[in-house]
Chains A and B, each alone.
Chain A
Amino acid sequence: MKLAYWMYAGPAHIGTLRVASSFKNVHAIMHAPLGDDYFNVMRSMLERERDFTPVTASIVDRHVLARGSQEKVVENIARKDKEERPDLIILTPTCTSSILQEDLQNFVDRAALESESDVLLADVNHYRVNELQAADRTLEQVVRFYVEKARKQNNLATALTPRPSANIIGVFTLGFHNQHDSRELKKLLQDLGIDVNEVIPEGGSVTRLRNLPKAWFNIVPYREVGLMTAHYLERELGMPFVSTTPMGVVDTAAFIREVEGILTQRAPQTSPGESVSLNGSLVNFEDYIEQQTRFVSQAAWFSRSIDCQNLTGKKAVVFGDATHAASMTKILAREMGIRVSCSGTYCKHDADWFREQVQGFCDEVLITDDHTHVGDMIARIEPAAIFGTQMERHIGKRLDIPCGVISAPVHIQNFPLGYRPFLGYEGTNQVADLVYNSFTLGMEDHLLEIFGGHDTKEVITKSLSTEGGLVWAPDGLAELTKIPGFVRGKIKRNTEKFASDNNISKITLEVMYAAKEAAGA
């Protein structure tokens, strides 16, 4: 047992549901007790989703405990099959169902016989993997299922597209700025003359998964989700993949060069005469990188500008998922000259990769999923700014240190309506803004130092001293203090107005309530 107040990564079934509900026309059925469908709330609220989240529960209640699910799960699958006609139904185990040890695979097999949809059991163990690992596995499982199915039916599309093309793997619902990143990646590929073959799982359709092999290569923008799928496709179909995250000027260039390498390697052997825009030897993106870096992205110029000079050597702490924390550490240290005192991740399963990535870019590395350790580390280091998750933002608030949010877990404000990618060249601009705004602005900082801090004189208050003869009785005053601070002033004014209108000189508890009833809140 572990005393826990907060966790960075959610339980396994959340990962499965995120993948399932990202695909079009895929329905997930959770084998879970009442109340475990909280995922629907998160998706509906955080993503402001317009459609009903395609997740329902096959409820585990007392009867199920006593006699087993029996026909219930199979019936629920059959019912969903008829109601929604999904392409695929994924039965999702939860922590509850994994201890019940019912033979869910058997339910799935039986249901598959009768339903028109395909039916799968998500292969995740609740007590061994977290949300991110489960998402990675589920995506691979779905892809493998449909590639194998296509092979059996002999309709796997194996011929490469005439023009170079790529699949983007791992963009999905409730991902940190994933929608914006996806758009930015597509734009980047378009600039490079590369078509987008399929994007999975977000907005993808499982019936189109048989087309995955048509792409020349795969792109896995995030470390956490998609690598298993990419490895599978490489192993089975020989598809190469790029797993460098194009975040920051340097890594975006590295990403493009990797793409270039793959195109040169794949181009000649495919369509010798046909390749329109591309002929192996002609692939050269260096000019593009040069142009983008120097003039389109403002980040390279920003790092030369005197604003950024003021950030030199300032201490920062970075914490988040492996992808974003590693990229951010490199951007801060390599591209902006900021001193990263500590860089850390909660992706404990990927600790080795993380250490290797940030080596040389930070003073120390912290691998933990205990937020109190992170809090202690921040308190000890006292950085000028934090780049972390919502948890670090709250730690920062407590310690009065500014924080830029760079990674999930996130709140609704991290699902902005405006265009805010973290990847690609526009992403470098966004990150530069985020960094710059997180540190106290350079000149402000300078002036504060010269003048010894902010003006501390009492602010002149707006309240007028016209409380003409009104007295607050002790019970009224006590009640007033119970009212939350942000409305207390208003309630006080309303009550006093009510009292003076009614010629009451002493404000008691009764008067307060009467005022509320009269004024209407």
Chain B
Amino acid sequence: MSTALAEPLTFECETGNYHTFCPISCVAWLYQKIEDSFFLVVGTKTCGYFLQNALGVMIFAEPRYAMAELEEGDISAQLNDYKELKRLCLQIKQDRNPSVIVWIGTCTTEIIKMDLEGMAPQLEAEIGIPIVVARANGLDYAFTQGEDTVLAAMAHRCPSLEKGSRVEPRAEGTLVENLLRFAKPNAPLPLSHGEVAKLSQPPLVLFGSLPSTVATQLTMELKNQGISVAGWLPAQRYIDLPALGEGVHVCGVNPFLSRTATTLMRRRRCKLVGAPFPIGPDGTRAWIEKICSVFDIQPQGLEEREAAIWAGLEDYLELVRGKSVFFMGDNLLEVSLARFLIRCGMIVYEIGIPYMDKRFQAAELELLERTCHEMGVPLPRIVEKPDNYHQIQRIRELQPDLAITGMAHANPLEARGISTKWSVEFTFAQIHGFTNSRDILELVTRPLRRNESLQSLGWTSLVKSSGN
């Protein structure tokens, strides 16, 4: 257990032959998050078939998303893209009247070089609805990175915090309030409880799409430290997007938002707070502490709060301690989850991950390293662009207690006696903040608990040739 403690994290890169969801799947959660939006996926039957099957029954609840299905005439440029899109967007405007239409570019629009970014402003002016273009295609991105492309595009649409309105340290409270209110008329007041000491705090905008409950929970955690959240990207409604500009601090809540972070820094001149992500009580505490340190605040009562959460998890921790995990990798949450699970006492063999932004995840990686040292376990190997075939060979060799994997491999692995957890569930479950720590373990321990109840039956391996 004490081996390899001094070694730094190692990163490997394989062939990129792995299973993941297409990034257009982000429409599934984003259309629910942004209530006045409409998502139009410009692609083929393949994209439509994926959405229809992956999103299951959601499709029947009158979704605010649709396919602009390209036909042969569109591909061979016999039809005029602009006119076609205009026709569809007018229909959407008439049927749903959204505040924003998001065009999702796909592989096909990339290959035929459809100029969505060029057409959008023109069409926007013509039909009077903002059109945001995000290229969430499988040529460039994996699964959750789809959200990243959409939020990066939305960052351009956030209202500007004028340079003159930059908060001066000793400015009067009401003035600040007025200025901020002026910048975004519908947003809640940034200041709460009249905590005068915190008037000097520059605006903080959090980015990443979370269910509103979780967003409220995180906002409250910060409020407890006297930090007010000026806004979220994305907000519940498109028209409530937060104001951005020089002097605004931004902080991500999910590890896959590196493009958004870059856009916020480079294009909107915001200051990025690089912190571990608020996943698990350890991550949440580190996240809050980092934000506090940026604003020169001494965090209050965090240690006790974290300890209390851990104490509440004890029944689940008993189940996971000493067990081993293998992340095949498909949604970029892997490093944060692995770090949390190591803190829970698990041993992580491998962290597969589609894409590793070492700069955006720097603080998270550092926390991972520290966690490994403190728990006295060897550092896991981080495999970028993994090769599922090779991974399955490694899983066979290592026989981990749990493989966190996509649905394509879950049933075949289970049939071979390897317990699995579908990775997609981590994307859709509420896993952020202190309050939801238990939900992560609920997911992780489910196969372990299930196996406990089936153990005595003696049918773990259910394939004919046990060799494979």
Which A residues fall within an 8 A CB radius of B? 1-7, 10-11, 13-14, 32-38, 40-42, 44-45, 48-53, 56-57, 59-62, 65, 83, 94-96, 99-100, 126-128, 130, 394, 398, 411, 479, 482-483, 509-510, 513, 516-518, 520-521
On whether A509 and B216 interact (CB within 8 A), knowing A4-B69, A13-B46, A34-B20, the answer reads: yes
Q: Are B46 and A36 neighbours in the complex by a CB distance under 8 Å?
A: yes
Known A-B contacts A1-B88, A99-B75; the reply to A7 vs B45 at CB < 8 A is yes
One of A127, A394, A516 near B75 (C-beta < 8 A): A127
**Contact of B409 with A by CB under 8 A:** yes
Q: Complex formed: what's the CA distance from A253 to B269 in Å?
A: 77
Q: Which residues of B (203-250) have their CB < 8 Å from a CB of A?
A: 212-213, 216-217, 220
Q: Please, what's the 1-or-0 string for B406-439, where 1 marks a CB less than 8 Å from any CB in chain A? A: 1111111001000000000000000000110011
Partner of A38, one of B22, B69, B112, B439: B22
Question: A211 CA to B18 CA in the complex, in Å?
Answer: 37
Does B12 lie at the interface of the complex (its beta carbon under 8 Å from any beta carbon of A)?
A: no
User: B133-141, B158-166, B175-183, B292-300: which lies at the A interface?
Assistant: B133-141
Shortest C-beta distance, B61 to chain A (Å), equals 10
B438 touches A44 (CB 8 A): no
Which B residues are closer than 8 A to A by beta carbons? 16-23, 42, 44-46, 48-50, 52-54, 56-57, 59-60, 63, 66-72, 74-75, 79, 84-85, 87-88, 91-92, 107-108, 110-112, 137-143, 212-213, 216-217, 220, 308-309, 312-313, 315, 389, 392, 406-412, 415, 434-435, 438-439, 442, 462-463
Cβ A2 vs Cβ B71 within 8 A = yes
Question: Is B142 within 8 A of A34, CB to CB?
Answer: yes
Q: Which residues of A contact B18 (CB under 8 A)?
A: 34
Interface centre among A7, A38, A128, A516 (most CB of B within 10 A): A38
State the Cβ distance, B339 to closest chain A Cβ, in Å: 21
Question: B45: which of A50, A95, A394 is its contact (CB, 8 Å)?
Answer: A95
Q: Are A40 and B19 in contact (CB under 8 A)?
A: yes
* In-complex Cβ contact of A49 among B68, B74, B143, B412 (8 A): B412
By a CB distance below 8 angstroms, the chain A residues around B140 are 61-62
- Whether A49 lies near B45 (C-beta < 8 A) is no
Distance in Å from the Cβ of A517 to the closest Cβ of chain B?
5
**Residues of chain B with a CB closer than 8 A to A94's CB:** 46
User: How many residue pairs between the two chains, A and B, have CB atoms under 8 Å in the bound complex?
Assistant: 183
Q: How far is the CA of A511 from the CA of B63 in the complex (A)?
A: 34
**Contact at A10–B49, with CB atoms within 8 Å?**
yes
* Docked complex Cα distance between A10 and B438 (Å): 39
Chain B residue, CB-CB nearest to A47: B411
Does B70 contact A521, Cβ atoms closer than 8 Å?
Answer: no
A521: which B residues are within 8 A, CB to CB? 438-439, 442
Contact B17 A57 (CB under 8 A): yes
Distance between Cα atoms of A274 and B21 in the complex (Å): 59
Per a CB cutoff under 8 Å, which of B138, B313, B389, B410 touches A36? B138
Cα of A238 to Cα of B23 in the assembled complex, Å: 50
A4 touching B67 by the CB < 8 A rule? yes
Which 6 A-B pairs have CB atoms at the shortest separation, nearest pair first? Answer: A35-B22, A33-B138, A40-B408, A50-B415, A1-B84, A35-B138
Q: Across the interface, do B45 and A45 meet the contact criterion of CB distance under 8 Å?
A: no
10 CB-based A-B contacts, threshold 8 Å: A1-B88, A4-B67, A35-B21, A35-B22, A45-B407, A51-B463, A65-B110, A479-B213, A513-B220, A518-B312
Contact A520 B438 (CB under 8 A): yes
Q: Within the assembled complex, what's the spacing in Å between the Cα atoms of A518 and B435?
A: 9
Within 8 Å by CB of A6, from B19, B52, B213, lies: B52
Given contacts A1-B79, A100-B111, contact A51 B70 (CB under 8 A): no
Q: Which chain B residues lie closer than 8 Å to A34 at the CB level?
A: 16, 18, 20, 22, 138-139, 141-142
Given A60-B139, A517-B435: A1 in contact with B68 (beta carbons within 8 A)? yes
Inter-chain contacts of B141 with A (CB < 8 A): 34
A99 touches B46 (CB 8 A): no
Q: Which residues of B contact A13 (CB under 8 A)?
A: 46
Q: Among the listed A3, A57, A65, A483, which residue makes an inter-chain contact with B139, where contact means beta carbons less than 8 Å apart?
A: A65
| A273 nearest CB across to chain B (Å) | 42
Of chain B, the residue at the smallest CB distance from A49 is: B411
Q: Which residues of chain A are within 8 angstroms of B406 by Cβ–Cβ distance?
A: 41
Q: Closest residue to A46 on the B side, CB-wise?
A: B53
| Listed residue (B53, B141, B312, B434) with the most chain A CB atoms within 10 angstroms of its CB | B53
Closest Cβ neighbor of A125 among chain B residues: B72
Q: Which residues of A contact B23 (CB under 8 A)?
A: 35
Q: Could you say which of A3, A45, A482 has the most chain B C-beta atoms within 10 Å of its C-beta?
A: A3
Looking across the interface, which residue of chain B has its beta carbon closest to that of A63? B139
Closest to B316 in A: A520
Chain B nearest CB from A70 CB (Å) reads: 15
Closest residue of chain B to A58 (Cβ to Cβ) is: B17
Which residues of B sit under 8 angstroms from A2, Cβ to Cβ?
67-69, 71
Determine if B407 and A44 form an interchain contact, defined as CB atoms under 8 angstroms apart. yes
Q: State which of B69, B112, B439 has its C-beta within 8 Å of the C-beta of A1.
A: B69
**Residue pair B312, A1 in contact (C-beta under 8 Å):** no
Whether B107 contacts A96 by the Cβ 8 Å rule is yes
- Bound-state CA distance A375–B257 (Å) is 40
CA distance A50 to B389 in the complex (A): 16
CA distance A6 to B60 in the complex (A): 9
Q: Which residue of B lies closest to A12 (CB)?
A: B45
Task: Find out whether the CB atom of B412 lies under 8 angstroms from the CB atom of A52.
Answer: yes
The distance in angstroms between the C-alpha atoms of A320 and B166, with both chains bound, is: 63
Indicate whether A52 sits within 8 Å of B69 (C-beta atoms), given known contacts A36-B22, A95-B108, A99-B108.
no
A50 / chain B contacts, CB cutoff of 8 Å:
411-412, 415, 462-463
Query: Is B50 touching A3 in the complex (CB atoms < 8 A)?
Result: no
Which residues of B lie under 8 Å from residue A3 when comparing CB positions?
Answer: 66-69, 88, 91-92
User: Which chain A residues lie closer than 8 Å to B435 at the CB level?
Assistant: 513, 516-517
Minimum CB–CB distance from A371 to chain B (whole Å) comes to 10
Give the docked Cα–Cα distance between A427 and B16 (Å).
Answer: 46
Beta-carbon contact of A11 and B22 below 8 Å? no
CA gap between A516 and B21 in the complex, in Å: 32
User: How far is B72's CA from A409's CA once the two chains are assembled, in angstroms?
Assistant: 24
Bound Cα distance from A409 to B407, whole angstroms: 20
B6 to chain A, nearest CB (A): 36
Q: Are A44 and B410 in contact (CB under 8 A)?
A: yes
Residue of A nearest to B63 (CB): A5
In contact, B71 and A1 (Cβ under 8 angstroms): yes
Docked Cα-Cα span, A517 to B46, in Å, equals 43
- Residues in B whose Cβ lies below 8 Å from that of A510: 220
Taken together as a complex, chains A and B put the C-alpha atoms of A38 and B53 apart, in Å, by 9
CA of A42 to CA of B21 in the docked complex: distance in angstroms? 12
Q: Contact check, A127 vs B72: say whether CB atoms are below 8 A apart.
A: yes
| A479 B216 Cβ-Cβ under 8 A | yes
Given contacts A1-B71, A38-B50, A50-B415, 4 further A-B contacts (CB under 8 A): A3-B67, A126-B44, A483-B213, A509-B220
